[in-house]
Amino acid sequence: MPQLNMVQAINLALREEMARDDRVVVLGEDVGRDGGVFRVTEGLFEEFGAARVIDTPLSESAIVGAAVGMAAYGLRPVAEIQFMGFIYAAMDQLFAHAARIRSRSRGRFTAPLVVRTPYGAGIKAPELHEESTEAFFCHMPGIKVVVPSGPYSAKGLLLAAIRDPDPVLFLEPTRLYRMVKEEVPEGEYTLPLGKARIVRAGGAVTVVAWGSMLQRTLKAVEGYDAEVIDPQTLSPFDWETLLASVKKTGRLVVVHEAPRTCGLGAEIAATAAEEAILHLRGPVLRVAGPDVPVPLARLVDHYLPSPERIRGALDEVLRY
Amino acid sequence: MPQLNMVQAINLALREEMARDDRVVVLGEDVGRDGGVFRVTEGLFEEFGAARVIDTPLSESAIVGAAVGMAAYGLRPVAEIQFMGFIYAAMDQLFAHAARIRSRSRGRFTAPLVVRTPYGAGIKAPELHEESTEAFFCHMPGIKVVVPSGPYSAKGLLLAAIRDPDPVLFLEPTRLYRMVKEEVPEGEYTLPLGKARIVRAGGAVTVVAWGSMLQRTLKAVEGYDAEVIDPQTLSPFDWETLLASVKKTGRLVVVHEAPRTCGLGAEIAATAAEEAILHLRGPVLRVAGPDVPVPLARLVDHYLPSPERIRGALDEVLRY
Amino acid sequence: MPESTLATFSVRRLEIIDPEGNADEALLPDLSGDELRRLYYLLLLTRTFDGRALALQREGRIGTYPSVLGQEAAQVGSAFALAGGEWIFPSFREMGLFFTLGYPIHQLFQYWGGDERGLRAPDGLNIFPVCVSVGTHLPHAAGTALAARIRGERTAVVAYFGDGATSKGDFHEAFNLAGVFRLPVVFICQNNQWAISVPLSAQTASRTLAQKALAYGFDGIQVDGNDLLAVHRATREALEKARSGGGPTFIECLTYRMSDHTTADDASRYRTPEEVAAWRERDPLLRFERFLAKRGLWNEDYAAEMKGKAQGEIDEAVRRFEAIPPPAPGEMYDFVSAELSARQRQQREI
Amino acid sequence: MPESTLATFSVRRLEIIDPEGNADEALLPDLSGDELRRLYYLLLLTRTFDGRALALQREGRIGTYPSVLGQEAAQVGSAFALAGGEWIFPSFREMGLFFTLGYPIHQLFQYWGGDERGLRAPDGLNIFPVCVSVGTHLPHAAGTALAARIRGERTAVVAYFGDGATSKGDFHEAFNLAGVFRLPVVFICQNNQWAISVPLSAQTASRTLAQKALAYGFDGIQVDGNDLLAVHRATREALEKARSGGGPTFIECLTYRMSDHTTADDASRYRTPEEVAAWRERDPLLRFERFLAKRGLWNEDYAAEMKGKAQGEIDEAVRRFEAIPPPAPGEMYDFVSAELSARQRQQREI
Ligand SMILES: Cc1ncc(C[n+]2csc(CCOP(=O)(O)OP(=O)(O)O)c2C)c(N)n1
Ligand SMILES: Cc1ncc(C[n+]2csc(CCOP(=O)(O)OP(=O)(O)O)c2C)c(N)n1
Ligand SMILES: [Mg+2]
Ligand SMILES: [Mg+2]
């Protein structure tokens, strides 16, 4: 089985799915001849041609809006937003349209589309290139949010996302693009959306982390009796897996890089406080980015939750 | 003192502030000659003229974007987005620009602007006219979010918002526009941003609600020993007041009409679970809208949290 | 040549029937007497619906409603050019379009009555739901046309919107996309000269809306929007061009919103009775009657008969509308996603 | 007149210096020899900075950097027309603009080095921070111009952007606003014919970008963007028009991005070496040298001297940049709001 990094795994998923299903088309800025600024769509233009690998004008709202029309027509568009910081211009199309066309048309039209976008901090890029505002999209009924944490899951989740009958926002942790290689099978396998993965079993504390924070969390918890959950799908969240773990460990720490206030960590903590409070031995702690815009390269390491802060939270919650 | 409804109170605040400070200008769709679709800006065009009460083209992104430029130049723009459901087109300008220009320019340019918009369900209006996505904006460092719950606070909070040195999103609960009248003093008074108000003292349970849900909550808690908190400012939230109350009562119920998942209720519950867990006797309950798009008039009453559901949550939490 | 003219452009205007009902025979579209009478009936149906909807709203039986009074010809004339099979993207003020396409009338009452089930288009009719968010449906039209192109299908796409919509970013991005890919889209703007209280002159400094197409490398044309046949002819030509690979067309139908913006609006706050009266003279229905009369296709008796028929059809639609049982609370969960999440299922049960 | 021409438009193009350095004397802007030499120095400074920035990036001393090679004349020529007091809205590829305005050079290294403190403009210089989000700064320009109008101040506003930006909704909404209110804005587009890998022909089907202004009721002009004096003249005229109430102007500077998009890009993936070579012939610096030489203002010695001077100035800026102590972690909280919330204060303390 080939050892692939995440860029290669996503590329493979796209290539295989486009070969399998001629309804799948890719669109976005520089996804064609250039192969994408991160090379995620490399080779697709050559293999599938300009009709199915579409370089669009610089118009984020139209990219998502066009994908809505394409999907309603019967295609399976996979749109790329070049960086998550540019998706805000497409919020209206995502939320007022992609997420609602099934509902507004009472099932007559649907939007089986994927919006892929690199997300997360720590790549030394300019402003708006390092955002992690997944919580916005988790507050949108009608749209799913998926974050792979490695090459293997990236391929399986992306295939599931493309085949999903509803819109999926697929957030690709930019820091992980080339950081790790994993065995990624050729041929199709899907990982079900809405299912979390217990990455590491443990008994004393449940830790939830996704994207590039998962790697960091796994390092930080070494030596702790921690159960680490990778949600994989952030919306709809796999509450069953989370609550079962929390009920077992009695402790919960959530790690995410987005600003703390109203981040997805809030929903996770709130759900625990609502549905598992009698099992909680101590406070639910969030190790999160501070409530500031993501700083540029010189300060970004101070922005991202550090292993020390993660361990600090573990130590604190384990005191109870 | 005159008895005013909320529309009149906001109108009075705008009129007084425009008279006091010639940097204050109003802009938006139909805010001029028409006086706004809810008549909130009625009479301002006649009194202050077309230069300061500006009918814009139908361009939500440019309304907020222009306000950023105007504010940086030294004005105090008060922009209206006609309904909250149309603010999504301006998310990019709000989040990438209004919320960040102070930070991006390291304090050289600032955006002391207000974006007013009617929000909330239950007015029997078409799609996108009844949204309550305050949580999006509470996840944006650099921007404040204010929700008045009555005519008196509407005036005092709006004056404070206009005078605030940073951008403020001012959400006006549409259902309350003409529902209640209160004594609203003429002349200036401000209510500080970031300060909650204990609307009703109580000892057994803390209930937090805002906007039109506050009215409903106050009715629902009759007969209960409930302390009801109106946050007034949703971001930054007055955690001090909330936590003091929760520590006293040991129980917390949050009521909001936005969809439950990743609503502001999550942040409130999470903060309680993080900072007051040892004082909590039972689960933190959220009485919220379901995770669906706001339905049209025929079903909206089933969407909004009902007094029965609020009382159900009180009964449940009081069992502990 | 240090200072030179790089390019020149012009914008055309098309009129066929003049206010007295005289037609330019050379430009007359090829329509039979029956077809012309069918068009007349559709105008009447639209106007009858409109009056009834206003009445129902006053009685509290439906919610806020946007009258189409004065814009019937632009809607019916363009919709009648559709061959079937097109994908159609309406905004919210196109009742005449829906009727011309045969959309069930009671469903429109149902929708404006606050019941989203009214928006489910009949199978086989590819009309997107009413889009309230101004201009945001235009990228969908472009995307659909792109999809048809990719699939190698000769589907054409038609999008409707108002003058106000031309100021939205999505208008621009969608037009640009349509231009770049030479997509088979017909963009039909009903320039009724008002966006709620904002007159055209405050909406744009452009002399015409039609010329906006120049920015995207395709043709714009202005037609007299109260001239049903001019609208029809322009739409038919644009559709033919679209289907034969000629790319998009922008048709500006210059018309007038004779009513308030919606039942929640009071237009007398911002425009003069004189202006409205002047446009009442140019009523598109009146003009079409005069045209038909000149061709011996219309007289008062015929009009009375047709009005009665339209009345009957609308009465029947109101009856059907009012007989629909209210939606069950659980229906707000239907169609949020193909499958509900565990949490949504739990919420529905409560 | 049933089918008529409603309006006609044309788009002008301006060139002053031809590729051999010959000038159209009638169009020559009124600039002294000293001024012309100052312009030359600014071109050199920009190019020297650019080369150094690329080198620093390769050495890992700054981050991703977008080269301005080939676009210096469009930037310097336009910026030199500013009288002072204007409000300026750059995008991200305008180093020549910053230098012409006297922006501290070391701060640009600092910014591209990942330290936002580099973006704090000196007091008195109203230039907004670099805007990475393409086209989204254009509404700010319109708003600022509107504010100046409201205050009765004769401030003019200048906004810079690329060809790619013309596809964004915000471009459209801002242009429309500027048109409706006849705002004193000069919109300067550096049409370098590429938006990363997307060539102009895939960005828009419009024949020129200049004609896009027609959609908003104001003038657009195309200038040879590698002809410093043409850019300068057009900008000066547009500024005068803006200040005297004539409203906005759109200047399309047709130029070419001779480098990769940024240091993270490899342009050979999507364009031919022949195309790049052809444009190297039209290098704006070379052309300006020829022009100066013809006027006796330039020779090899002078060039060497000036290059040395520019080198020295850039060296000094690099030294200053590298001497800046790194920001303290707490600085990311500075300037989020005028006052931090209790929660933010607590977060900063950790
Ligand atoms: C994006 C958006 N902004 C604001 C509104 C509120 N609104 C509804 S209709 C309208 C005016 C629309 O004008 P136009 O496009 O000319 O259509 P018309 O009403 O004249 O048919 C406005 C501002 C809306 N529905 N959508
Ligand atoms: C809104 C937005 N979308 C995408 C990007 C990524 N991106 C950076 S520059 C660029 C191309 C810009 O082209 P153009 O406007 O012509 O400017 P140029 O780079 O040629 O100077 C793109 C797509 C961005 N910065 N902002
Ligand atoms: Mg209109
Ligand atoms: Mg470019």
Q: Does B309 have pLDDT greater than 90? A: yes
The one-character DSSP state at D61 is S
Confidence class of residue B176 from pLDDT cuts 50, 70 and 90? very high
Partner residue opposite D327 with nearest CB, options A292, A293, A299: A299
Plot region of C127 (φ>0 → left; ψ -120 to 50 → alpha; else → beta): beta
Using the Cβ of A134 and the Cβ atoms of chain C, whether some distance falls under 8 Å is answered with: no
Say whether C302 is catalytic: no
pTM: 0.98
Q: B256 pairs with which residues across the strands?
A: B288
Q: Does B1 have pLDDT greater than 90? A: no
Query: In the 3-class helix/strand/coil scheme, how is C314-344 assigned residue by residue?
Result: HHHHHHHHHHCCCCCHHHHCCCCCCCCCHHH
Place of tokens 């336009």: D78
Contact D263, D220 (CB under 8 A): no
Q: B80 pairs with which residues across the strands?
A: B28, B116
Q: Does A182 have pLDDT greater than 60? A: yes
- Phi, psi (deg, nearest 5) at residue B258: -65, 155
The reply to whether C285 falls in a domain is: yes
Q: Give the 3-state secondary structure of residue D274.
A: helix
How much is the pLDDT for D201? Answer: 98
End-to-end CA distance of chain D, in Å? 77
How much is the pLDDT for C3? Answer: 86
Over residues A121-131, mean pLDDT: 96
Ligand 2 centroid to residue B181 C-alpha, Å = 51
Rounded to the nearest 10 degrees, the angle between the axes of helix D169-180 and helix C169-180 is 120
Q: Which residue in chain A is spatially nearest to C216 when comparing CA positions?
A: A57
Per CATH, which fold does B3-183 belong to? Rossmann fold (3.40.50)
Partner residue opposite A261 with nearest CB, options B128, B138, B272: B138
Q: Which of residues 194-213 of B touch C (CB under 8 A)?
A: none
Ligand 1 centroid to residue C74 C-alpha, Å = 18
Q: What is the dihedral of CA D91, D96, D98, D99, to 10 degrees?
A: 170
Q: Do D197 and A33 touch (CB under 8 A)?
A: yes
Range of the domain at D256: 17-349
- D contacts of C179 (beta carbons < 8 Å): 204-206
Structure tokens at C235: 């739409």
Q: Which of D146, D147, D232, D239 is nearest to D187 (CA)?
A: D239
The reply to whether C9 falls in a domain is: no
CB atoms within 10 A of CB D122: 12
Place of tokens 């109260």: C226
CB atoms within 10 A of CB B61: 29
Over residues B178-188, mean pLDDT: 94
CA dist A16 to A8, A21, A41, A265, D228, Å?
A: 12, 9, 12, 34, 51
The one-character DSSP state at C12 is E
Q: Does D335 have pLDDT greater than 80? A: yes
Using the Cβ of D138 and the Cβ atoms of chain B, whether some distance falls under 8 Å is answered with: yes
CA separation for the pair A154, C229 (Å, rounded): 56
Q: In what order do the strands lie in the sheet with B233-235?
A: B53-55, B24-28, B76-80, B114-119, B168-173, B144-146, B233-235
| Nearest protein CA to atom 20 of ligand 2, as residue | D195
Per CATH, which fold does B197-318 belong to? Rossmann fold (3.40.50)
Q: Which of D158, D194, D181, D176 is nearest to D75 (CA)?
A: D158
CB atoms within 10 A of CB D236: 20
Structure tokens at D56: 């620093």
Q: Do B66 and D129 touch (CB under 8 A)?
A: no
Q: Which residue in chain A is spatially nearest to B135 when comparing CA positions?
A: A262
Plot region of D158 (φ>0 → left; ψ -120 to 50 → alpha; else → beta): beta
pLDDT above 70: percentage of residues in chain A: 100
The one-character DSSP state at C168 is S
CA separation for the pair C125, C102 (Å, rounded): 9
Contact C173, D164 (CB under 8 A): no
Confidence class of residue D2 from pLDDT cuts 50, 70 and 90? confident
Q: C249 pairs with which residues across the strands?
A: C186, C219
> Within chain B, how many helices (H) and strands (E) appear?
12, 14
CA separation for the pair C87, C149 (Å, rounded): 13
CA separation for the pair D17, D224 (Å, rounded): 9
Over residues B199-226, mean pLDDT: 98
Q: How close is the nearest chain B Cα to the Cα of C199, in Å?
A: 9
CA separation for the pair D317, B52 (Å, rounded): 45
Contact B31, B78 (CB under 8 A): no
Q: Give the 3-state secondary structure of residue A150.
A: coil
Q: How close is the nearest chain C Cα to the Cα of D300, in Å?
A: 28
CA separation for the pair C107, C117 (Å, rounded): 8
Over residues B173-197, mean pLDDT: 96
pLDDT above 70: percentage of residues in chain C: 100
Contact D229, D18 (CB under 8 A): no
User: Which parts of chain B are beta strand (E)?
Assistant: 3-4, 24-28, 53-55, 76-80, 114-119, 144-146, 168-173, 182-183, 197-200, 205-209, 226-230, 233-235, 252-259, 285-289
Q: Which of A274, B314, A102 is nearest to C346 (CA)?
A: A274
Q: Do B69 and D146 touch (CB under 8 A)?
A: yes
Contact D2, C222 (CB under 8 A): no
Output the CA angle D90-A66-C151, nearest 5 degrees. 135
- Inter-residue long-range contacts of C52-59, CB under 8 Å, 24+ positions, other chains counted: C52/C314, C52/C318, C53/C95, C53/C109, C53/C112, C54/C259, C54/C263, C56/C109, C56/C113, C56/C318, C57/C112, C57/C263, C58/C263
The reply to whether D11 falls in a domain is: no
CB atoms within 10 A of CB C72: 29
Q: Examine domains A3-183 and A197-318 and report if their fold is the same.
A: yes
Domain count, chain D: 1
How much is the pLDDT for B2? Answer: 87
Q: How close is the nearest chain C Cα to the Cα of A107, in Å?
A: 6
How much is the pLDDT for D350? Answer: 81
CA separation for the pair D43, A194 (Å, rounded): 57
Q: Which residues line ligand 2 (CB under 6 A)?
A: A 29, 58, 60, 82, 86; D 93, 132-134, 161-165, 192, 194-196, 257, 261
Q: Do C143 and A70 touch (CB under 8 A)?
A: yes
Q: Does B161 have pLDDT greater than 90? A: yes
Structure tokens at C250: 């922008």
CA separation for the pair D294, A272 (Å, rounded): 79
Q: Do C27 and D3 touch (CB under 8 A)?
A: yes
How much is the pLDDT for D3? Answer: 86
Confidence class of residue C2 from pLDDT cuts 50, 70 and 90? confident
CB atoms within 10 A of CB B124: 17
The reply to whether D297 falls in a domain is: yes
Plot region of A183 (φ>0 → left; ψ -120 to 50 → alpha; else → beta): beta
- Ligand 2, atom nearest to A89 Cα: 1
Tell me the one-letter amino acid at A249.
Answer: T
- Domain of C215, CATH number, reads 3.40.50.970
- C contacts of B61 (beta carbons < 8 Å): 169
Contact D16, D229 (CB under 8 A): yes
DSSP A236-247: S--HHHHHHHHH
Instruction: List b or e across D53-76, with b for residues whose CB sees 16 or more CB atoms inside 10 angstroms.
Output: bbebbeeeebbbbbbbbbbbbbbb
Contact A148, A119 (CB under 8 A): no
Q: Does B245 have pLDDT greater than 60? A: yes
Query: Counting ligands in written order, which one lies closest to the CA of residue D162?
Result: 2
Say whether A97 is catalytic: no
DSSP A175-226: GGTTT--EE--SS-----TT--EEEE--SSEEEEE-THHHHHHHHHTTTS-E
Where in chain B are the domains? Answer: 3-183, 197-318
Q: What is the dihedral of CA B180, B184, B190, B195, to 10 degrees?
A: -30
Over residues A171-197, mean pLDDT: 96
Confidence class of residue A2 from pLDDT cuts 50, 70 and 90? confident
Structure tokens at B28: 């938006």
Structure tokens at A253: 């720490």
Query: Counting ligands in written order, which one lies closest to the CA of residue C196?
Result: 1
Ligand 4 centroid to residue D195 C-alpha, Å = 4
Q: Does C123 have pLDDT greater than 90? A: yes
Over residues B96-120, mean pLDDT: 98
How much is the pLDDT for D1? Answer: 52
Q: Give the 3-state secondary structure of residue D67.
A: coil
Q: Which chains neighbour A (Cβ–Cβ under 8 Å, 3 or more pairs)? A: B, C, D
Structure tokens at D206: 């419009």
Over residues B243-266, mean pLDDT: 98
Structure tokens at D343: 């929660």
How much is the pLDDT for C54? Answer: 98
Over residues C280-289, mean pLDDT: 96
Alpha-helical (H) ranges within chain A are 6-20, 44-48, 60-73, 91-92, 101-104, 134-138, 151-163, 212-220, 239-249, 264-275, 297-303, 307-318
Contact D96, D68 (CB under 8 A): yes
The reply to whether D281 falls in a domain is: yes
The reply to whether D141 falls in a domain is: yes
Q: How close is the nearest chain B Cα to the Cα of A128, in Å?
A: 8
Higher pLDDT among residues A204 and B188, named by residue: A204
Contact B58, C168 (CB under 8 A): yes
CA dist C237 to C27, C187, D165, Å?
A: 12, 13, 33
pLDDT above 90: percentage of residues in chain D: 99
Q: Which of A27, A31, A82 to mutate to test the pocket of ligand 2 (most atoms within 8 A of CB)?
A: A82
Question: ipTM exceeding 0.90?
Answer: yes
Q: Which of residues 207-226 of D touch A (CB under 8 A)?
A: none
Q: Does C1 have pLDDT greater than 60? A: no
